[in-house]
Chains A and B, each alone.
Chain A
């Protein structure tokens, strides 16, 4: 199995303070990797570095074998990398419909962009009912659906998701996780998921990447992290 995402010794930070140190791991095609760790472990910084919002101070990020250094953020979505940022992914001033259209504007295949938009409405019926509502009128769950659905319109091969379960009811979280699993199995989507909710993340992931203070402390199959009490105690604290 080839790796869609290869992270090699990446360091990054804000100003002189390093947040990520020497982070190395890879995500094989068609799998879900969950990045786990306490607050401040550097999980969000990791995603921001992978999508180029933050420039790495060292190391290398490869997507589909190609080095992403110097690739502008706005070009990444065209290459098949979609990043759903934490919390504020929805443009609050735009309507649901406009948010979704925005997600497909760069695509030259207008027909398929339109079809992808219809698919999102089928996937998330609450969005279809609120097409004309502004982003700020949506509930937390609806916003998460909108941000995720908008990313899917790009038909990405790699999806970076920051805390998709934040503020969601457990039932909605379970639905979203199941959807991710299905997209991986059916369409070969690869997902890198940052989560505080360790149990829900491990229930769906193939691989767990545990971070602490900016370093990867262990990367192991999700099943092992789930079932091996010693590992779980040592790295996840429960």
Chain B
């Protein structure tokens, strides 16, 4: 029972990171109708910036801010100079370009920072606190859960309560109508990419210290897991991304805990396949709403 609780807490903590990362994927899917396969590599790049700033200034928090800022810029840049010019006629075009971007980013990171592991310190203790004899969450887990919660709430407020959020939603759902109503759809698209990459940067900063280490391929598996989480929740649904992230975090925590860490990548793929076979729209898909 203690072990089950321990795995549950651990699953929620890693699940929160998957949720944030899946949310970044959903943001871009909603804005541009494409899965950003370069999300992982972009997050790694911003994490390098974050830890470079952190080690130069000695402050994790300045590093975190730098990573998020780098995410905003990188997202806007990728949209403005690359994705904007990719034809939408064939969905494969965007996938190929994104995969090319992954290779480019990983190569550049390797050239600049080297391909080895670099230390990435956590801002809080990662040893679990024991509550009533049960190893529960570590201070770092609490920070992860809190940070993701804040981001989710802020994004929800942005999209439902502010004029810019209304513009972004309208531009995503009905670009032509939005332009006729004076919405600068092209700017909203850039903003969507910037926001998504910033959320991805935060997720990257959160996940790197959890035993992953910082290297150019650090987010490869995390990306696959987060993609699975986004598909579980339905690519269209931010709430789905959060629930999907936590759910996948829990499932993988149990699988790793009871069956061993070697089975984790396999479990991810099985889960992805199962969801695509049984409920391709995801748990929270709004297929009905779009069926007009």
- Within 70-87 of A, Cβ neighbours of B (below 8 Å) are at 73-78, 82-83, 85
Q: Say whether A74 contacts B185, CB under 8 Å.
A: yes
A134 at the binding interface (Cβ < 8 Å) = yes
Query: How many angstroms from the CA of A238 to the CA of B179 in the assembled complex?
Result: 38
Contact with A along B158-176 (1 / 0, CB 8 A): 0000010011011001101
Of A91-99, A178-186, A210-218, the segment with at least 4 beta carbons within 8 Å of chain B is A91-99
| Chain B interface residue count, Cβ-Cβ cutoff 8 angstroms | 22
| CB-CB under 8 A for A92 and B289, given A98-B166, A102-B167, A105-B166 | yes
Which of B166, B177, B292 sits near A85, CB closer than 8 Å? B177
Query: How many angstroms from the CA of A93 to the CA of B289 in the assembled complex?
Result: 7
Q: Say whether A74 contacts B289, CB under 8 Å.
A: no
A103 at the binding interface (Cβ < 8 Å) = yes
Which residues of chain A have C-beta atoms less than 8 A from B178's C-beta?
Answer: 91, 102
| CB-CB under 8 A for A150 and B181, given A92-B289, A92-B290 | yes
Which residues of chain B have C-beta atoms less than 8 A from A89's C-beta?
Answer: 177
Q: How large is the interface on A (under 10, 10 to 19, 20 to 34, 35 or more residues)?
A: 20 to 34
Which of A76, A78, A94 sits near B173, CB closer than 8 Å? A94
Query: How many angstroms from the CA of A75 to the CA of B178 in the assembled complex?
Result: 12
Question: Which A-chain residue is minimally distant from B185 (CB atoms)?
Answer: A74
- Within 62-93 of B, Cβ neighbours of A (below 8 Å) are at none
B180 at the binding interface (Cβ < 8 Å) = yes
- Within 136-191 of B, Cβ neighbours of A (below 8 Å) are at 163, 166-167, 169-170, 173-174, 176-185
> How far apart are A22's CB and chain B's nearest CB, in angstroms?
26
Q: Say whether A53 contacts B176, CB under 8 Å.
A: yes
| CB-CB under 8 A for A102 and B183, given A92-B289, A92-B290, A92-B292 | yes
Q: Say whether B170 contacts A85, CB under 8 Å.
A: no
Which residues of chain B have C-beta atoms less than 8 A from A105's C-beta?
Answer: 163, 166-167, 181-183
Contact with B along A23-43 (1 / 0, CB 8 A): 000000000000000000000
> How far apart are B274's CB and chain A's nearest CB, in angstroms?
28
Which residues of chain A have C-beta atoms less than 8 A from B167's C-beta?
Answer: 102, 105
- Within 245-292 of B, Cβ neighbours of A (below 8 Å) are at 286, 289-292
Which residues of chain A have C-beta atoms less than 8 A from B184's C-beta?
Answer: 74
Contact with B along A116-138 (1 / 0, CB 8 A): 00000000000000000011100
Which residues of chain A have C-beta atoms less than 8 A from B163's C-beta?
Answer: 101, 105
Query: How many angstroms from the CA of A186 to the CA of B86 in the assembled complex?
Result: 49
Which of A92, A94, A106 sits near B182, CB closer than 8 Å? A106
Residues of B participating in the A interface, judged by any CB pair closer than 8 Å: 163, 166-167, 169-170, 173-174, 176-185, 286, 289-292
A91-B170, A106-B182 given; 20 more Cβ-contact pairs under 8 Å: A51-B180, A73-B180, A74-B180, A74-B185, A75-B182, A77-B182, A88-B174, A88-B177, A90-B177, A91-B177, A92-B292, A93-B286, A94-B169, A98-B166, A101-B166, A102-B178, A103-B181, A136-B290, A136-B291, A154-B181
